[in-house]
């Protein structure tokens, strides 16, 4: 064999025999690296614990905002203070020419109460230029298709959120609403039935400045912008409206701020934009999708109370356990009702019989409400609502309303301001009459006729307050 054909073997030796450390070992020796890590962690944690942190984070990740922590704590008007125009004009003040900052502080007053009856009568209120579902021609409430209340105010008036909520839209519509803000308010009392919760959207338009961004969590009375005259506005004012999430017809309201007609619909009806507002052709759409905004904020409803079941016995029957489980399920679904305290097994059994049935009905309170008296001045503190156990739906049933004092005794000569309103906390029914005044009570009791309008269980409610009856079930 040729010696040249033999393969020569070579050995590789490193020039530097010292083993290089791992990258993490290198970083562990650098204090600046760990200072940077701790700083980033502190920054992220601090922002997540702030006002907007987790909500904005989940919106960026999931595409939506978690509103489970938004709690309803009542309402306030969209503006806190406005000029006393009569006194201001004596100093030469003019909201068309001067800014809010130019109004002397001692001439500012709380926004006056919106009186629906007066707005329907004439619509000439100096503070409210257009009433709810009003027209441009008269401004009177109910005279047109304007789904909001227009509030006169000089440019630069601070505008505030009416309740806790989440900013869903901040826009600029140069030919319509101008600069506007839309806020979603979850878990608020439904104006049609304050014992139930719903989602509403408050809308603020023609702003000169907006101070919030989409996704911001805002609290009640937090400033969200300044009033102005942007968009299609003939004078400085705030266009304030409240939209429903779902209309009274059960269908989702398609957009916010909602408008009851489109330009195409107006043209097909042979109307200009102004003429369409001055007509009532599209008023049904507005009433279905919106609520009277000022009446809602002035009502300042109490938050509906979650179901609480208590029994004096340490051991519960199977029916009572079913009732508790069902009540918890309803509460989880967002179906709320007044708190209940049951000291008798018969009451708990009657409740369980309804709740454990096929209907998801609202768990009622006993006939004698344990709620405190509503905002009326008088000597009664609770109301007993007595009615037949069942109804056929073919005839009017008689309901007896009795006023009781704190000791449970009948108030023979009741005296209170205002009226009591009969509504349904569950089901559908008509009442005759649907309002009661002190003169309707004889020896502390008044009789009302009720006609259930479906086969659903009916629970009677008396407002203001949370006075409700036991269930009235359909029976052949």
| pLDDT tens-digit map of 74-86 | 999 999 999 999 9
pLDDT at 188: 94
Task: Kindly indicate the confidence band of residue 334, based on its pLDDT and cuts at 50, 70 and 90.
Answer: very low
In a domain, 30, yes or no: no
Q: Which range, of 16-30, 249-263, 282-296, averages the lowest pLDDT?
A: 16-30
Strand, coil or helix: 131: coil
CA atoms within 13 A on the CB side of 378: 26
Q: Are residues 114 and 222 in the same domain?
A: yes
Gap between the Cα atoms of 204 and 160, Å rounded: 9
Q: Are residues 129 and 250 in the same domain?
A: yes
In a domain, 311, yes or no: yes
Q: Of 8-17, 296-305, 393-402, which one has max mean pLDDT?
A: 393-402
Selected residue with higher pLDDT from 217 and 409: 217
Show which of 254, 277, 299 is a domain's final residue. 299
Selected residue with higher pLDDT from 200 and 379: 200
Q: Which range, of 30-39, 223-232, 352-361, 384-393, averages the lowest pLDDT?
A: 352-361
Report how many domains make up the chain.
3
Q: Are residues 227 and 143 in the same domain?
A: yes
- Provide the domain limits for residue 256: 81-299
In a domain, 74, yes or no: no
pLDDT at 239: 97
pLDDT at 20: 63
- The per-residue b/e assignment along 402-438, b for 16 or more CB within 10 angstroms, e otherwise, is bbbbeeeeebeebebeeebebbbbbbebebeeeebeb
pLDDT over 90 percentage in the chain: 45
- Kindly state the helix (H) or strand (E) to which residue 283 belongs, with its residue range: helix 283-289
Q: Are residues 325 and 252 in the same domain?
A: no
Rounded average pLDDT over 54-69: 53
Residue 159 and residue 81 in contact, taking contact as beta carbons nearer than 8 Å: no
Task: Kindly indicate the confidence band of residue 9, based on its pLDDT and cuts at 50, 70 and 90.
Answer: low
Mean pLDDT rounded to a whole number for the chain: 78
In a domain, 283, yes or no: yes
pLDDT at 348: 35
Rounded average pLDDT over 142-149: 95
Residue 315 has pLDDT above 80, yes or no: no
Q: Are residues 318 and 443 in the same domain?
A: no
Backbone angles phi, psi at 68, to 5 degrees: -65, -20
Rounded average pLDDT over 110-114: 93
Q: Are residues 311 and 263 in the same domain?
A: no
Please spell the DSSP secondary structure of 193-262, one letter per residue: EEEEEEEEEEEEEEEEEE---TT-EE-TT-EEEEEB--SS-SSSEEEEEEEESB-TTSPBP-SSS--S--
The residue assigned the tokens 């020569």 is 8
Interval 442-466: pLDDT, tens: 888 899 999 888 887 888 888 776 6
Show which of 363, 398, 413 is a domain's final residue. 363
Residue 55 has pLDDT above 60, yes or no: no
Q: Are residues 205 and 310 in the same domain?
A: no
In a domain, 236, yes or no: yes
Task: Kindly indicate the confidence band of residue 42, based on its pLDDT and cuts at 50, 70 and 90.
Answer: confident
* Closest residue by Cα to residue 339 from 326, 354, 357, 327: 327
Strand, coil or helix: 326: helix
In a domain, 384, yes or no: yes
Widest pairwise Cα distance in the chain: 134
Q: Are residues 340 and 237 in the same domain?
A: no
Q: Which range, of 24-28, 151-155, 327-331, 359-363, averages the lowest pLDDT?
A: 359-363
pLDDT at 106: 93
pLDDT at 71: 85
Strand partners, 398: 449
Q: Are residues 90 and 155 in the same domain?
A: yes
Q: Are residues 168 and 236 in the same domain?
A: yes
Q: Are residues 341 and 390 in the same domain?
A: no
Interval 400-439: pLDDT, tens: 999 888 788 888 888 877 788 888 877 778 888 888 888 8
CATH value at residue 244:
2.70.70.10
Residue 4 has pLDDT above 90, yes or no: no
Gap between the Cα atoms of 230 and 180, Å rounded: 9
Rounded average pLDDT over 227-254: 95
Selected residue with higher pLDDT from 357 and 137: 137
* Strand ranges in 28-113 using DSSP code E only, listed in sequence order: 81-83, 108-110
Gap between the Cα atoms of 186 and 189, Å rounded: 9
Angle, vertex CA 287, rays to CA 285 and CA 290, nearest 5: 100
Please spell the DSSP secondary structure of 422-444, one letter per residue: EEEEES-EEEESSEE-GGG-BTT
Q: Are residues 293 and 425 in the same domain?
A: no
Q: What is the CA radius of gyration of the chain?
A: 31
In a domain, 20, yes or no: no
CATH value at residue 461:
2.60.40.3450
In a domain, 93, yes or no: yes
Residue 316 has pLDDT above 60, yes or no: no
């Amino acid at each position: 064999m040729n010696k040249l054909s033999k393969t020569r073997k070579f050995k590789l030796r490193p020039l530097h025999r010292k083993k290089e450390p791992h990258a993490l070992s290198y970083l562990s020796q650098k204090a600046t690296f760990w200072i940077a890590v701790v700083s980033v962690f502190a920054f992220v944690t601090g922002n997540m614990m702030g006002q907007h942190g987790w909500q904005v984070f989940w919106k960026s990740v999931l595409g939506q905002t978690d509103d489970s922590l938004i709690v309803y704590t009542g309402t306030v008007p969209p503006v806190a203070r406005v000029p006393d125009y009569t006194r201001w004009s004596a100093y030469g003040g003019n909201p068309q020419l001067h800014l809010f900052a130019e109004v002397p502080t001692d001439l500012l007053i709380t926004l006056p109460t919106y009186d629906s009856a007066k707005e329907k009568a004439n619509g000439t209120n100096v503070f409210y230029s257009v009433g709810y579902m009003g027209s441009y021609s008269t401004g009177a409430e109910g005279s047109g298709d304007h789904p909001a209340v227009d509030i006169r105010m000089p440019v630069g008036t601070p505008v505030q959120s009416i309740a806790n909520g989440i900013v869903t839209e901040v826009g600029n519509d140069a030919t319509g609403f101008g600069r506007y803000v839309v806020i979603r308010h979850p878990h608020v009392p439904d104006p049609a039935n304050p014992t139930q919760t719903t989602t509403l959207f408050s809308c603020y338009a023609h702003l000169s400045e907006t101070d919030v961004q989409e996704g911001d969590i805002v609290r009640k009375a937090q400033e969200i912008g300044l009033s102005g005259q942007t968009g299609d506005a003939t004078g400085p004012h705030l266009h304030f409206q409240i939209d429903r999430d779902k209309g009274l017809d059960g269908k989702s309201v398609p957009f916010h701020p909602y408008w009851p007609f489109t330009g195409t619909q107006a043209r097909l009806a042979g109307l200009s934009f102004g003429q369409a507002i001055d007509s009532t052709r599209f008023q049904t759409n507005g009433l279905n999708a919106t609520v009277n905004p000022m009446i809602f904020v002035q009502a300042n409803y109490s938050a509906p109370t979650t179901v609480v079941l208590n029994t004096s016995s340490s051991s519960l029957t199977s029916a009572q356990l079913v009732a508790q489980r069902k009540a918890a399920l309803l509460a989880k679904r967002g179906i709320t009702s007044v708190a209940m305290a049951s000291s008798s097994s018969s009451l708990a059994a009657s409740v369980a019989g309804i709740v454990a049935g096929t209907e998801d009905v609202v768990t009622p309170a006993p006939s004698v409400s344990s709620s405190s008296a509503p905002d009326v001045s008088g000597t009664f503190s609770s109301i007993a609502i007595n009615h037949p156990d069942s109804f056929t739906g073919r005839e009017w049933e008689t309901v007896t309303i009795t006023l009781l004092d704190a000791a449970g005794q009948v108030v023979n000569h009741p005296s209170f301001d205002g009226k009591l309103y009969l509504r349904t906390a569950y089901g559908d029914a008509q009442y005759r009459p649907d309002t009661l005044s002190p003169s309707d009570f004889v020896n502390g009791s008044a009789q009302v006729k009720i006609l259930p309008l479906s086969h659903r269980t009916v629970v009677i409610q008396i407002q203001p307050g949370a006075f409700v009856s036991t269930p009235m079930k359909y029976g052949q």
